[in-house]
Structure 1
């Protein structure tokens, strides 16, 4: 099973001759990040450092976002569920789901926003609801995404060396697209199923799918990088 960012991580690893150390770097304070470095500072930017840094633990998040965070069971890959820390759980426009690689919740896996979380923006000012053309512009070129109508349908598969594949920091950006709500017809066979489709595909261009999920994430600390 893959987490959402796992798809993007696989693409990144194939382009990386030698990986960075998997273990998160120790903080200057020796006990992870401080509350001030992970607490909401008013900026609604999703990046490698905000609103959650890789070194954050569940306990630190619950303290830093006191009254604005709680632990919940959330949907996971392929019909599974997983335990997460949810920031702003009662505010759909700001809701953020933080998942972890370990049961102790000390190793952040990904930081995810979904439908309705319109107050967040990512690299290139993309956000929930951004259309394909806007994402191509932010990336600086066309990219590949998976066909629709399966477990990993609509996920960006390869940014083709574009800007969105080179985040400032050590995280990887993951995007998921879906047909716009205005679309009522049937999807053409060349843009559905377990296959990579170029964003420049004429039928994909005509559809102009929109971002419905955006996340940043990191590989498992136990993952071996050849």
Structure 2
């Protein structure tokens, strides 16, 4: 009886998708390779993350638009990822891969949601340029200035680039608002103490 019970538990465990019950430490890097590579599709994401963790639905986008996207871990905000396809009909070739919420997703350099200006500067190896706050694309990194996070050092020939967007915590009134460019080591920008609120792997540009 005990042997049959143990065999039953083993078989039941074998039927569970690797990531359906696994911890965050099993997630791959948030990178332009692996499950988010240029040639990925929804079928590959289902194989990687499990059918129950992959859905196709309408999601909000910039400037009040709604778009169709494949969503990973739709019931778990900490692991949620949205993939907007260049080929939406066949759900292949990612255009943008987006993470919004604090959680386990990290770039190969260790950047995650909540990273500070100083942490991203260290990962990049130098200061970078970002836009002012208070509009739809506010706080977006515009240029990594040839650092380690620069597109040509991340793309591996597939046209992918890492986009990071920053926002100051809580209510903010300062001198770094609007559609203007600022260096990350600018005194006013540092005083705002912004953190990364969105990470994007972009194959299509903006």
Q: Which TM class, normalised by the smaller chain length?
A: 0.7 to 0.9
Are 2:165 and 1:176 equivalent residues in the alignment?
yes
2:189 alignment partner in structure 1 = 204
Q: Any idea what SS the aligned residue of 1:124 has?
A: coil
2:77 alignment partner in structure 1 = 92
If each structure's strand is expressed as a fraction of its own residues, which one has the higher value? 2
| Contact 1:100–1:106 (CA under 8 A) maintained in structure 2 | yes
Gaps of 5+ in 2: 1-17, 20-24
| Cα distance change on mapping 1:168 and 1:43 into 2, 3 Å | farther
Are 2:161 and 1:161 equivalent residues in the alignment?
no
Q: For residues 95 and 196 of structure 1, what CA distance do their matches in structure 2 show?
A: 30
Instruction: Tell me the TM-score normalised to structure 2 length.
Output: 0.79
Q: Any idea what SS the aligned residue of 1:101 has?
A: strand
1:23 alignment partner in structure 2 = none
Q: How many aligned positions are there?
A: 177
| Cα distance change on mapping 1:73 and 1:164 into 2, 3 Å | same
| Contact 1:85–1:97 (CA under 8 A) maintained in structure 2 | yes
Q: For residues 52 and 148 of structure 1, what CA distance do their matches in structure 2 show?
A: 29
Gaps of 5+ in 1: 1-38, 221-226
Q: CA deviation at 1:63?
A: 5.1
Q: CA deviation at 1:52?
A: 2.2
- Correspondence list, 1:32-181, <5 A: 42-62=26-46, 64=48, 65-104=50-89, 105-116=91-102, 118-165=103-150, 166-167=153-154, 169=156, 170=158, 171-181=160-170
| Contact 1:45–1:51 (CA under 8 A) maintained in structure 2 | no
| Contact 2:166–2:198 (CA under 8 A) maintained in structure 1 | yes
> How large is the Cα RMSD of the aligned pairs?
2.0
More divergent stretch after superposition (163-172 vs 88-97) = 163-172
Q: For residues 82 and 210 of structure 1, what CA distance do their matches in structure 2 show?
A: 26
Q: CA deviation at 1:103?
A: 3.0
| Cα distance change on mapping 1:148 and 1:62 into 2, 3 Å | same
Residues 49-92 of structure 1 show CA distances to partners (whole Å, capped at 9, x for unaligned) of 24322212234434543111101111123221110000111111
Q: For residues 185 and 148 of structure 1, what CA distance do their matches in structure 2 show?
A: 9
Instruction: Tell me the TM-score normalised to structure 1 length.
Output: 0.72
Instruction: Answer with 1 or 2: which has the greater Rg.
Output: 2
Residues 145-180 of structure 1 show CA distances to partners (whole Å, capped at 9, x for unaligned) of 010001210110000001111216332000000002
